[in-house]
Structure 1
Amino acid sequence: MLDSKTGDRVTCNRYNGPYGNNTYYDKFKHPVKAAKNFFKSDCDYALVKSKACLKDYGPAKYRYCAWSPKSKNGKCSGIIKHKKTFHRH
């Protein structure tokens, strides 16, 4: 688990949905909590516009959003014209 606050640097805002609790949960260990936080998150909305964000669930070397390089941080949020740092819906 990882708690975030507004302005934190994140790879992807996949847990900033309006019904979540600003906490990243591993989707295998906590599938219900992870899904609740994902619903209507930036990543959820970005998937409608680009399937590139799905790459974040595959091998690290192919990820669309990543800790490094910095230009990839929050990239899915950018697709929907949102801030690339953590923010809550």
Structure 2
Amino acid sequence: MGLPTEYDPDQTFSLTTAGELLGCSTDTVRRMIARGDLKAVRVGKRLIRIRRRDLDRALRPVTRVDLVSARSLEPDADCGVRRYGSAQSGSRSA
């Protein structure tokens, strides 16, 4: 099934199609649902569907606050990796 051509807020989509519409993977869509960022409904025991209106609600404009918050989450230059000196690296005993 291709992407929709007409807008219908009640139309439902599979996780795969929702990912295509959002420009992300199915795993990302699942994580958004698990975090509560995206509403979804279960149809029967296995099928998960997402309404178009809920996809629209999950999308929001990026604000300056978002950019500042994201910058504070960037790793340090050393990425938290401990660096061992050459004297320590050969000191392991078997």
- Higher RCO (C-alpha under 8 Å, 6+ residues apart): 1
TM-score (ref. length: structure 2): 0.28
TM-score (ref. length: structure 1): 0.29
Q: Which has the larger radius of gyration?
A: 2
